[in-house]
Structure 1
Amino acid sequence: MDTRRSEQAGEASRSGIRAQGGSLAPGRVVGDGRYRLLAQFGVDERAAAHLWRARDGQLKRDVALTLLVGDPADPEAARLARRTLERAAHASKFGHGGVARVLDVLSLGSGVTSSEGLLGVVVAEWTKGSDLVDLVAQRPVAPAAAARMVQALAEAVEHAHQNGLVLGLDHPQRLRLTPNGALKLAFPGPLPEATLRDDVKALGAVLYLLLTGRWALPGGPPAIPAAPLTPQGLVVPPRTLVPAVPPELSSLAVRTIEDGGNGGIRTSSAILRVLGQVADEEERTQLIKAVGEGDEAPADGTLWTTKKPVKDVARRRKLAFGVTVLVVATVVILAWGGLMLINLFQGDSKASGPTINVAAPSSQGAPPPANSAAPPPSSPAQPKIGAAVAPKSAGVYNPEGSGDNSGRAKNTIDGDPGTTWRTDQYQQQLPVLKSGVGIVVSFDNPVNLAQVKITADSPGTKVEIRSADSKNPKLDATKVVGSGDLNGTDTTISLQQPTQSQYFIVWITQLGDDSGGGFISEIGELSFLPAG
């Protein structure tokens, strides 16, 4: 493996090494004579960083070296190298299974001499396993496996960002796949100008690479083809290249890489949530398939699993609400029954016969004359409501970008409130990032809609009901016909007047608060009630 990776570095990379750092080759000793180079694993040309496996002659162990090659007489190159070394030194205090531990940082005059043609060295523990480039060289990784690999790496990014650290994993040759199937940053050393956003974009690029075998960020290695672009300059979704990729993963990769637009994903926590949903869904699918084969399933149909039950917070809230309503109803019934018994016994103790009212009749309580007209109603009569009409289809409506969790939009009309669709988690409330997001439904034929019932557990969410002339219209081409706030489990929104259309949009204009400090809304079921 090491020899093949050394050969794949290419003549272009080797010529660059000779030009800037002398003859870096296996067997050479660097770092004041302590580290002997064994095999090269890549070149990050953006920072003239050469990635090597080496042998620590003092401690008799293998290490990963990030060699910063350059001319010590070039002040700008020296300044950028110092910045990279400073960031690597800060990372030495960070511990996580997804990042190789930084053991030492060598700079000019402190472990590195000008005669070596190096501006600095980052020394990290060696990561056993395989090279990421070799992993995707033959064929893309299965979507479920790709989700699990990136999930472990995203956990490291989330932990690092909470500590204010940039990891700098936006180059595939800096990553390695461990024997237990997790991705790990094997060659630490972030670029001088790298930001937290660059780490998040790198997660999307790594997912894209695993799903398609192509790299979607600038500065990738020559051994990996670049991701194709649309005429608008956007990255082509992975699902277009590999149809087997689930829509959720394809959308996640593209939206994480995107710089502009209001639909981009900018936090590792949002990535982790989507990856967790995909992993859970895949586990359930594989479990059903295994039982369906019948080879290992018990004869009585009992299914055994060691997987921990998934905590469904929304379902637990709904259960608690239902129990509370049941208790209150029971107390009311008991109190009413007690009052009836008291009245019964009090009536028996009194003399029977009609009650005579000896007080003078009040003019206020007198019945109106027979020929008097009834007063007009104070408000127009409400339309009669018919039985709910099931839509033909449901999809995410987001005219300003790709949809939030598009693959789960069908859960809003499947008849099961326990299966939900939720928006992405946003760090800022609408309409800062986008004007809104919602669900568009279409019917086989136009319906004369009067009410929309929304089953959801997202207090604080504000919605509008909009009618449309097509399945994917522009927002200004739709018409607001009703609005309301989601409070409690079920919310019924009455339209201003019955509206006939084949397409309706449940448009979220304000998200609910998330316990993690962000904003998110979730819908379990939508019911559409026409005028009777």
Structure 2
Amino acid sequence: MTTRRTESLTGELAPGGAGEQFLLPGAVIGDGRYRLLAQFGVDERAGAHLWRARDNQLRRDVALTVLVGQASDAKRAADARRTLERAAHAARFAHPGMARVLDVLSLGNGVSPNEGLLGIVVADWSAGTDLVDLVAERPLPAATAARLLEPLAAAVERAHVAGLVLGVDHPQRIRVTPDGTLRLAFPAPLPEAVPRDDVKGLGAVLYLLLTGQWPLPGGPAAVASAPIAPDGSIAPPEALNPAIPHELSAVALRSLEDTSIGGIRTSATLLSVLDQAAESAEQTEFLRPVVPGTEDDEGPVWTTRPPARDRARRRKLAIGVTALAVATVGILAWIGMMLIDFFGDDSGGTGNTVVVSQPPPKDGETAPPRPKPAGPVKPAQVAEYNPEGSEDDEKDATNVTDGDPGTLWETDTYKQQFPALKPGVGIMASFADPVRFAAVTVESPSPGTVVEIRTAPSPTPTLEETKTIASATLSAGRTEIQLPNAEPSQYLIVWITKLGEGNESALAELGFVRAS
């Protein structure tokens, strides 16, 4: 497969272009360190050639994004420098959805101007399959496409929180891992790229998975372009294939549309909506009957032989469906018990929940009535919020929403209480859309910890830009903090202003309750 794609891609290149005469299998670039093995694509928008190469020094395969051009072309050289700078910034970012940037070579620093090259981005090699090859024969089932995309969308969201743009808006930069997830294999964003371009890129990848067509300009010649209406709008995926669920078709289309007319603006929103659409598509595919002779009868996209249909198989299927039904009833019963425990009477239960009401806003004023809870709401993303200081326990931030009170996010142990070294540290929860909250619940093994509930205007605010809406001293176990005056907000911070015993604190679980 690799040899066939290399030949076809080589045939697409315009011969004689700047630097292309050096880009042939077996050639050595980067001061003799990298030997080119096979080409996997060309992003013509940036003059970026995508290669698999061999690192002769470390004796391992790497992914090279080679920027082609002449140093005398001022604009091309400036664009290349900006791309290299952005790639260098991404080197500190680690996520399974993106290949790790190992090195960035520029003119005079690993790249010779005589080669007609402007720079090279070196990344870990991503084993697996080309994204374009995956959809070459036919598009994927809707639920499979959505689940493939989720890890890549999660990487984009995490990068945006860190202030980075990844550049996922070209299909040949993305590969399918052996684990069945999408990964940005050739990281090097365009010089003018903004976070919105990543959102559009994710929508375009979903469109490609569902239809086999690419909806953005600058795609590879080997992939058909999506139909464009006379008014410039892109045809919805469901118009090309009625079997595609409307919800998933809408996710792809809204990601590509202008945000001023209902398009999806942020990666957090896309990730949340994508998960909901994937669940809906999975239910639809589970309930859809299989008609002999149709393409659905051929099984998953990676299966090459149709399964045999006999009595034994039908009997096993019936047993499996029965077991699934029993398991589903058990899960629903468990969820019901959890909801009863969550919304049950605090005074008569055994959950040891301490409810903290907020004082009246002014002397003599009556406190506003407690908002009626409408139900729990799950954040699209949680991350450590530490604007003034090094990270405390960033890698374990997601423990606070994993449903397991035994896993913790912990602060460092400080020699002095806040604010001696810094004003505090906390957890930021990002939601798909603005939410009016009735309460926040905090499970913690660190009694005496003082927290503030703050709202934020963006995913990366300074502390001065946040607004305190409630405060509480945590008890051992669960503390419910009521929010009678909360305005709708998309970003909520649990901010620790005083550490617990031993000048350290830990959070086990955070819960967020929407107001009715």
TM-score bracket, shorter-length normalisation? 0.5 to 0.7
1:513 pairs with one of 468, 488, 495: 488
Q: In structure 1, the residue corresponding to 2:260 is in which secondary structure?
A: coil
Q: Which residue of structure 2 lines up, in the alignment, with residue 126 of structure 1?
A: 125
Q: In the alignment, what sits opposite 2:5? A: 5
Say whether the 8 Å CA contact 2:131–2:171 is kept in structure 1: yes
AA partner of residue 161 (structure 1): H
The 2-side partners of 1:286 and 1:232 are apart by: 33
Deviation at 1:307, TM superposition (A): 13
- Residue pairs, 1:340-351, within 5 angstroms: none
1:334-393 CA deviation, whole Å, 9 max, x = no partner?
Answer: xxxxxxxxxxxxxxxxxxxxxxxxxxxxxxxxxxxxxxxxxxxxxxxxxxxxxxxxxxxx
Q: Is the 8 A contact 1:64 1:186 kept in 2?
A: yes
Question: In structure 1, what residue type is equivalent to 2:2?
Answer: D
CA shift, 1:318, in A, is: 7.7
Which of 285, 295, 305 is matched with 2:316 structurally? Answer: 295
Indicate how the Cα distance of structure 1 residues 32 and 282 shifts in structure 2: closer, same or farther if over 3 A, else same.
same
What is the CA–CA distance in structure 1 between the aligned matches of 2:66 and 2:262, rounded to whole Å? 38
Give distance in 2, aligned partners of 1:177 and 1:86.
Answer: 27
**CA distance, structure 2, for counterparts of residue 300 and residue 218 of structure 1:** 45
Task: Give 1:92 shift.
Answer: 0.6
Name the residue aligned to 2:229.
Answer: 230
What does the per-residue CA deviation read over 1:268-300, in whole Å, with 9 as the maximum and x for residues that have no partner?
11222122223334455666789x965245499
Aligned 8 A contact 1:512 1:521 in 2? no
CA 1:310–1:259 in 2, change beyond 3 Å: closer, same or farther?
Answer: farther
Summarize the alignment of residues 242-391 of structure 1 with structure 2, pairs less than 5 Å apart.
Answer: 242-284=241-283, 294-298=315-319, 301-303=322-324, 321=343, 323-324=344-345
- Alpha-carbon contact 1:133-1:224 (below 8 Å) kept: yes
Task: Please name the residue that 1:148 is paired with.
Answer: 147
Q: 2:366 corresponds to which residue? A: none
- Conserved in 1, the CA contact under 8 Å of 2:66 and 2:117? yes
Aligned length: 348
Q: Write the distance in 1 (CA, Å) between the matches of 2:23 and 2:65.
A: 12
In the alignment, the residues of structure 2 paired with residue 307 and residue 71 of structure 1 have an alpha-carbon distance, to the nearest angstrom, of 66
Which residue matches 1:36? 35
Change beyond 3 A, Cα 1:251–1:285: closer
Residues 43 and 49, structure 2, Cα contact 8 Å, conserved in 1: yes
Secondary structure at 1:137 match in 2: coil
Q: Which runs of 5+ in 1 are unaligned?
A: 329-424, 430-456, 461-510, 525-532
Structure 1 residues 60 and 326: alpha-carbon distance in aligned structure 2, compared to 1, 3 A threshold: closer
Separation in structure 2 between the aligned mates of residue 138 and residue 300 of structure 1, nearest angstrom: 31
Q: Specify the alignment match of 1:168 in structure 2.
A: 167
Change (3 A) 1:320 1:253: same
Matched, 1:200 2:199: yes
Deviates more, 1:265-274 or 1:306-315: 306-315
The one-character-per-residue Cα deviations of 1:83-126 (angstroms, maximum 9, x if unpaired) are: 10000001111100000001110001100111111000000010
TM-score between the two structures when normalised by the length of structure 2: 0.60
Change (3 A) 1:276 1:29: same
Residues 219-241 of structure 1 deviation map (CA, whole Å, 9 limit, x = unaligned): 10111111111222111100000
Match of 1:432 in 2: none
Q: CA deviation at 1:22?
A: 2.6
Letter in 2 for 1:117: G
Query: How far 1:248 sits from its partner (Å)?
Result: 0.5
Q: Is the 8 A contact 2:69 2:116 kept in 1?
A: yes
The 1-side partners of 2:56 and 2:11 are apart by: 29
Q: Cα distance 1:173–1:300, how it changes in 2: closer, same or farther (>3 A)?
A: closer
Rounded Cα–Cα distance in structure 1 between residues aligned with 2:118 and 2:66: 8
Separation (CA, whole Å) in 1 of partners of 2:200 and 2:335: 29
Question: How far apart in 2 are the matches of 1:299 and 1:129?
Answer: 31
Using a 3 Å threshold, how does the CA distance of structure 1 residues 277 and 315 change in structure 2: closer, same or farther?
A: farther
Q: Which amino acid aligns with 1:13?
A: L
TM-score by length of structure 1 reads 0.59
How is 1:419-438 mapped onto 2 (pairs within 5 angstroms)? none
Counterpart AA for 1:295? K
Q: Tell me if the contact between 2:93 and 2:159 (Cα under 8 Å) persists in the aligned partners.
A: yes
Identity of aligned residues (%): 53
Q: 1:250 to 1:79 in 2, by over 3 A?
A: same
Q: Is the contact between residue 21 and residue 70 of structure 1 (CA under 8 Å) also seen in structure 2?
A: no
Partners of 1:307 and 1:35 in 2: CA distance = 57
Deviations 1:145-194 (A, max 9, x none): 10001111100001111100100111000000001110000001000000
Query: Which residue in 2 is equivalent to 1:95?
Result: 94
Distance in 2 separating the partners of 1:242 and 1:82 = 42
Distance 2:166 2:321 in 1: 51
In 1, Cα distance between equivalents of 2:14 and 2:318: 56
Q: In structure 2, do the counterparts of structure 1 residues 327 and 428 end up closer, same or farther at CA, with 3 Å as the change threshold? A: closer
Distance 2:330 2:19 in 1: 54
Q: Superposition RMSD on alpha carbons, in Å?
A: 3.8
Q: Distance in 2 between matches of 1:209 and 1:310?
A: 35
What letter matches 1:248 in structure 2? E
Which residue in 2 is equivalent to 1:332? none
| CA 247–295 in structure 1, closer or farther in 2 if over 3 Å, else same | same
**Counterpart residue identity of residue 316, structure 2:** D
Secondary structure of the 1:78 match is helix
- Paired AA for residue 127 in structure 1: S
**Mapped partners of 1:155, 1:229: distance in 2:** 29
Give the counterpart letter for 1:237 in structure 2. P
Looking at structure 2, the residues matched to 61 and 14 of structure 1 have their Cα atoms a distance apart, in angstroms, of 30
1:181-220 matches, within 5 Å, as 181-220=180-219
What amino acid sits opposite 1:513 in the alignment? P
Name the structure 2 match of 1:111.
110
Task: Tell me if the contact between 1:459 and 1:512 (Cα under 8 Å) persists in the aligned partners.
Answer: no
The residue type paired with residue 49 of structure 1 is A
In the alignment, is the contact (CA less than 8 A) between 1:427 and 1:517 conserved in 2?
no
